[in-house]
Amino acid sequence: MKRPAVRRRKPRSLLRSLLDGGVFVVVLAMVLFAVRQAGWLETQSGDFIAVDGDSLRKGNQDYRLHAIDAPELHQMCEDGSGATYPCGRQAQAALRRLVSSGSVTCRVIENDRYGRLVAICRAGKIDINDEMVRQGWALAYRQHGLDYIGAEAEAKAGRRGIWQGRFEMPEDWRAGHRARTGSMSAGTDRNEPD
């Protein structure tokens, strides 16, 4: 009996192989991005220090708190009677208190353009990002997420933190400061949210 003829496949062209490899790399990058966005990749815990009202540091690594924006460290605000006070320093103090209130764990979401890890952090059961907004020492940073709009409305209604008087939006303060000085102060530039 005669064996059926085996059809031989044509070898893949180099172009086709490169195209298949490129598709694989793109799909893999998309999967890794989705996994990282879901927070399944990195969790950091340990001793953190408050750099300002929306940034932490652990060792040599800086962390930007996701979807919040606090007054800059040298920013001044007005209280309910019109007196100025260092709201940026008070925001830093509020974050320092939260960080020292329990074991801190940060779930990393992404890296920003300054090399910081953007994260949602917890001190024990307290969501630090949410609590900073709820206390009125940070704003819901809508360009980066809508997570804390309810906490901001609560702080504003309760006239807590910077909501007790008048203040310049932190992003406006940064833009004005850059315009006046030509750049951010030394060491502050990496603390910008964008």
Predicted pLDDT of residue 18: 76
In a domain, 97, yes or no: yes
d(C-alpha 145, C-alpha 156), whole Å: 19
d(C-alpha 174, C-alpha 178), whole Å: 6
In a domain, 113, yes or no: yes
The answer for residues whose C-beta is within 8 angstroms of residue 156's C-beta and 6 or more apart is 136, 163
Q: In 3D, which of 138, 126, 144 has the Cα closest to residue 67?
A: 144
Predicted pLDDT of residue 11: 74
Strands 61-65 and 117-123: parallel
Please write the tens of the pLDDT for every residue from 140-179.
999 999 999 999 999 999 999 999 999 999 999 999 988 8
- Structural domain that includes position 130: 43-179
In a domain, 75, yes or no: yes
CB count within 10 Å of CB 177 equals 18
Write out the two tokens for 126.
């307290």
Give the CA count within 13 Å in the CB-facing half-sphere of 146.
Answer: 0
Torsion of CA 106, 107, 109, 111, to 10 degrees: 40
Predicted pLDDT of residue 108: 95
In a domain, 145, yes or no: yes
Predicted pLDDT of residue 41: 53
Identify the DSSP state of 144: G
Whether 192 and 109 have beta carbons less than 8 Å apart is answered as no
In a domain, 133, yes or no: yes
- In the chain, which residues have pLDDT < 50? 39, 185-194
Strands 49-50 and 117-123: unpaired
In a domain, 83, yes or no: yes
- What CATH number has the domain bearing residue 88? 2.40.50.90
pTM higher than 0.85, yes or no? Answer: no
In a domain, 194, yes or no: no
In a domain, 7, yes or no: no
Number of domains in the chain: 1
CB count within 10 Å of CB 164 equals 18
